[in-house]
Amino acid sequence: MTGRFNLEPFASPGYRRYFLAALLAALGLWVYSPALEWVILTETGLAGAVGVLQSTLIVAVALATLPSGLVTDRLGPRRTLAISLSGMGLIIALVATLAALDALTFELAIVLTFVLGLFDGFFGVPATLLLAQVVEPRHLGSAIGLSFLTSGLGRLIGAPLGGAVLEVAGATQAFIPAAVAVGVSGLVILSAPIRQTEDWPERTAGLRGLGQAAVWLMRHSAARSVTLLAVVSGITIYSYGALLPALTRDLLRAESATLGLLSGAGGLGAILAAVVMDAIGRRIGRGRQIVATLLASGLAIALLGMTTLLPVAIMLVASIVFFSFQFGGTAQLIVQTSPPPRLRPGVVAVYTFSFNVVLPIGTTGVGLLADRFGVAAVLLGMGVATAVGTAAVLLMVRRLLGVDVDEGGDVRIPGDRRKPDAGAIVAP
């Protein structure tokens, strides 16, 4: 397939409305998160405390992921997303209230972060499935890639804004607009028109359906290998964010505004990744794209541990996000297009759960290790671990490099002549 960039998903009114809602949510959350992390770092003085905060969020997300698949199956993606976004907006508003009363302690932040994470856990699965309902299958790869523009713009604008407002005006003034933006996004998503819905007459309900999805995932070589790489990335790549506050303080010798700038720099990488992800995947193949971008993310993380210069750190953070977003988006495309429609919500939920369940191990681990061995050494170790983990998965599933998604939206595996639905477990 030829590499090309297209904006066809924006021709869909439903996709445009989804994009607006996701952008509002990303802006609000990127104003909120770095500001809260800096408040916790300055209150406790420990990088490990930030890691615990992030791990609390991710544990809650992981716990909610599997139920979110069941709820999405019953309520549909739009209503589930509205519940998720509205709930997060309410929690951020409560954090803002506590900050205004000077009553926001580390313990309360942990509790509220856990509740926010439960709502956040109801976002990923329905968001993934909604894209398939608002664009044509042949545009799904582009739709997934372009959706990362929302996170990129959120980071680029929200993180520096939140850090600057926190430093100049205080925590409450940073949290209030974040709560409003996330809450409004929940109303916007309800108005997104659906192009088509999927009918799953043979699906099974509840935990039995999730069990069938898990078995299918283990039997499908492409989906299984991508899930294993996602587990590797959860420990060695996506956990790097827990170290940014400590890196800002210890290596760059800077304050919260610089943390916001550094976090926002990732927005440039996310925007570029959104623009080129689908075109690169079409040109080199999705399997090669997954492996190459994961290895490149690990290299950038290792190099980040070797610099004390802000311009270099900004470039490396942008590179980490550029490569890791391509990895995540392409993995999402393969996992979503591999299973038959009747198993899709369960498979996406099991995949997302697998990633989220290891992510808190990574964020807590790197934070605690940084307190003991230093940020630089931990970042270097994360880069090495990424290379080792990727090589191990490739040795187990060597055909991964040849995996691709055709124009019809079906996953193709080298040497596998079965129909795309082959290997699926049909409910009796």
pLDDT of residue 20: 93
What's domain 10-193+205-412's architecture?
Up-down Bundle (1.20)
Is the Cβ–Cβ distance between 181 and 28 less than 8 Å? yes
Residue ranges of the chain with pLDDT lower than 50? 1-3, 199-205, 419-428
pLDDT at 311: 92
- Please state the domain extents for the chain: 10-193+205-412
User: Residue 4 has what pLDDT?
Assistant: 52
Please give the single-letter amino acid code of residue 39: V
The predicted-structure confidence for 330-346, as pLDDT tens digits, reads as follows: 998 888 888 887 787 78
Task: Return the pLDDT at 206.
Answer: 57
Alpha helices in 191-309 (DSSP H): 206-219, 221-236, 244-250, 256-284, 286-304
Among the listed residues 401, 409, 137, the one whose alpha carbon sits nearest the alpha carbon of residue 290: 401
> What is the pLDDT at residue 385?
95
Q: Are 260 and 311 in contact (CB under 8 A)?
A: no
Q: Whole-angstrom Cα distance, residue 66 to residue 207?
A: 9
3-state secondary structure of 41: helix
Helix (H, G, I), strand (E, B) or coil at 200: coil
Check residue 309 and give its pLDDT: 92
Q: What is the pTM of this model?
A: 0.72
Q: Which of 200, 144, 172 is nearest to 337 (CA)?
A: 144
- pLDDT score for 400: 85
What are the residues facing 412 on neighbouring strands? 404
* Cβ proximity of 65 and 121 under 8 Å: yes
pLDDT of residue 428: 25
Distance, C-alpha 157 to centroid of its chain: 18
What pLDDT score does 415 carry? Answer: 57
Strand partners, 405: 411
